Structure 1
Amino acid sequence: MVWSGLGPRARIRTGIGYLIVAAAIGLAATTAALAQDKRQNTPGEFDYYVLSLSWSPSFCEDAAERGNSGRSQAQCGGGRPFSFVVHGLWPQYEHGFPEYCDRDAWLDRNIMTSMLDLMPAPGLIFNEWKKHGTCSGLGPRGYFETVRKARAAIKIPPEFIDLADPKTVSPADVEGAFIKVNPGLAANAIAVTCNRSRLSEVRICMSKDLQFRGCDEIDRRACKRDEVTMPPVRGG
């Protein structure tokens, strides 16, 4: 800030002007923060859900490459050959999302074990409850019943249920396959994500009563690659 060419009165007026501008900027920032805080991380205060379905074979290959096979043993260590599994059901705002709305919340082990058919890792279930479920406004049992209902509302395209060989697909084709077998699902309500060259997740937006609905922010974050690989289902 250079005032050397200004007289005393001009300097005073200029200084006052800067203070007014700074105060206005500070007030605007405070107002924006308060507007966000009215709902930020308040349980039950959100706009819609995202049901995230993870392609388990991609997760397992990524974990093996990162040297995290031990942590993913429950899901990737053999036994049941998982294809699409539930990553989570996430409360969302139109812009952004709440998280960890009750850091002291606990989860009964019996509820956790009841979800292992859909979410095949205890650590995943506990984390999803703490990070996302606590923001739903529901208790643990109600939240995971909602997870189950949301998953039951989605049909998996038959070509992805028992994939025996690696498959190269375009994200648009995967979206199209889901739209084809799920009446009412529109292109702006589904997004495919990828991790490097592999398909990672299919994310489907649903209203609080679990009807399909558009979600521009989720749709914009979809995979931009022309093609991705779907590793085969283990044991398939």
Structure 2
Amino acid sequence: MKAAFLIPLLLALWPVPAPADGVAGDFDYYVLALSWQPGWCRATGDEQGARECDKGSGLDFTVHGLWPQYERGWPEYCDTPERDPSRREVQAIGDLMAPGLALYQWRKHGRCSGLSAAEYLSTLRQAAESVEIPRPFDGLPRDITLPPVVVEEAFIEANPDLTPAGVTVTCKAEALQEVRICLTRDLTPRDCAPDVRRNCSRARVLMERVR
């Protein structure tokens, strides 16, 4: 085979480096993900012996994460010169999410925010505290099943700045998994991009009572 043909063939077969996971600070908006804690405990937490799943914990919606998002797709595990949060910093957010989860969320998503760890956790708290949990779900005393759209409408009613395109529900098997709320970089509500819209196609979802 002549070199003129061999070189292009070798270039075609040579492994192409994986694309970068994202550039810190380069994103369009945030997604605030709120987990329905009883559902997470049933699916995952009970097997792990998670303390937040103990009877009497009283947890309803807890923060899963605050995710930098593109208009299509999202960055993950970005390179950043910022250090990981200290033990004290992740423990300080423990009223919103488990400290281990806070560290994981920083490494996977927070590094892409372009913020320091302390700034990211502060922004996460600000985002979570800007959202009112609908009263019917606050300390839910019994199991209920309802259409996913009812959950979305309840959040819109409790948070008038939200729009139907700005809040979305996810489910796992028959149970409610998360409510995801789209926010600008300034943490004001905005519509979600199409790839964040509801992925729960069930007619009804289970919301287990608060423990």
1:71-106 C-alpha deviation (Å, 9 max, x unpaired):
xx1321345221000000000011111111138842
CA contact under 8 A between 1:188 and 1:219: conserved in structure 2?
A: no
Pick the structure with greater CA Rg.
Answer: 1
| Equivalence for 1:8 | none
**Paired amino acid for 2:147:** S
Query: 1:69 corresponds to which residue?
Result: 48
Of 37, 43, 51, the match for 1:56: 37
Q: Which residue, out of 115, 118, 121, partners 1:141?
A: 118
Q: Of residues 70, 79, 86 in structure 2, which corresponds to 1:108?
A: 86
1:141/1:79 Cα in 2 relative to 1: closer, same or farther (>3 Å)? farther
**Corresponding residue for residue 11 of structure 1:** none
DSSP 3-state at the match of 1:45: coil
Say if 2:129 is the partner of 1:152. Answer: yes
Number of the residue aligned with 1:199: 176
Q: Is the aligned partner of 1:190 residue 2:167?
A: yes
1:118 maps to 2:96: yes
Match of 1:41 in 2: 22
Structure 2 counterpart of 1:41, one-letter code: G
TM-score (norm 1): 0.78
TM-score (norm 2): 0.86
Larger fraction in helix: 1
> Distance between the aligned counterparts of 1:139 and 1:78, measured in 2?
36
Aligned equivalent of 1:209, options 182, 186, 193: 186
Give the gaps of 5 or more residues in structure 1. 1-18
Counterpart residue type for residue 185 of structure 2 = K
Provide the secondary structure at the position in 1 that maps to 2:123: helix
Distance 2:142 2:35 in 1: 18
Counterpart CA distance in 2 for 1:102 and 1:219 is 24
Q: Structure 2 regions of 5+ residues with no counterpart? A: none
The answer to whether the Cα contact below 8 Å between 1:167 and 1:231 also exists between their aligned partners in 2 is yes
2:39–2:207 Cα contact (<8 Å) kept: yes
Report the AA paired with residue 89 of structure 2: I
User: CA-atom RMSD, angstroms?
Assistant: 2.4
